[in-house]
């Protein structure tokens, strides 16, 4: 029953712009499933659903996608905060929107990029310690790919 319900949830959020747990529960009940708000909440967590903004300014549920194994959530934070990047030997410096450096640095750390040793973030600047000079170039290409693919 749970697998069928999960499949139906994925189908419903693909078909409709579902904004709330209540709306999802209603759609499930309409489809013949007996659910409570707690069940829907648990299903959302288990399916790793996330909300994305629509052009209208409203939000809707969607299945969290991965790009090259990296969570869409981390890529979205990187994309939203990224301004520019430059390198100095094996140090990658990333400029961000004011106030976003810590979130972007945390996202980079959470991705467990093999080239990256760690990040130090200020308000709008991140200094990334990278293993080698060559790894810095590789990391810059990965970051560029994540930013452009997410747009």
Number of Cβ within 10 Å of residue 36's Cβ equals 9
The pLDDT value given to residue 94: 98
**pLDDT tens over the chain, length 151 residues:** 788 899 889 889 889 999 999 999 999 999 999 999 999 999 998 887 888 777 788 888 887 655 555 677 788 889 889 999 999 999 999 999 999 999 999 999 988 899 999 999 999 999 999 999 999 999 999 999 888 864 4
Residues 6+ away with beta carbon under 8 Å from 57: none
SS3 per residue for 24-82? HHHHHHHCCCCCCHHHHHHHHHHCCEEEEECCCCCEEEEECCEECCEEHHHHHHHHHHE
pLDDT 10s digits, 24-49 = 999 999 999 999 999 999 999 888 78
């Amino acid at each position: 029953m749970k697998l069928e319900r999960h499949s139906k949830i994925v189908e419903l959020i693909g078909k409709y712009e579902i904004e709330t747990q209540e709306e999802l529960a209603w759609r499930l009940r309409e489809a013949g499933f007996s659910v409570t708000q707690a069940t829907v909440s648990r299903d959302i967590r288990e399916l790793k659903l996330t909300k994305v903004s629509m052009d209208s300014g409203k939000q809707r549920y969607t299945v969290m996608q991965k790009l090259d194994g990296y969570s869409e959530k981390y890529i979205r934070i990187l994309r939203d905060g990224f301004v520019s990047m430059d390198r100095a030997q094996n140090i990658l410096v990333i400029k961000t929107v004011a106030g976003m450096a810590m979130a972007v640095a945390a996202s980079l750390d959470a991705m467990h990029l093999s080239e990256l040793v760690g990040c130090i973030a200020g308000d709008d600047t991140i200094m990334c310690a990278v293993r080698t000079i060559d790894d810095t170039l590789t990391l810059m290409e990965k970051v560029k790919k994540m930013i452009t693919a997410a747009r």
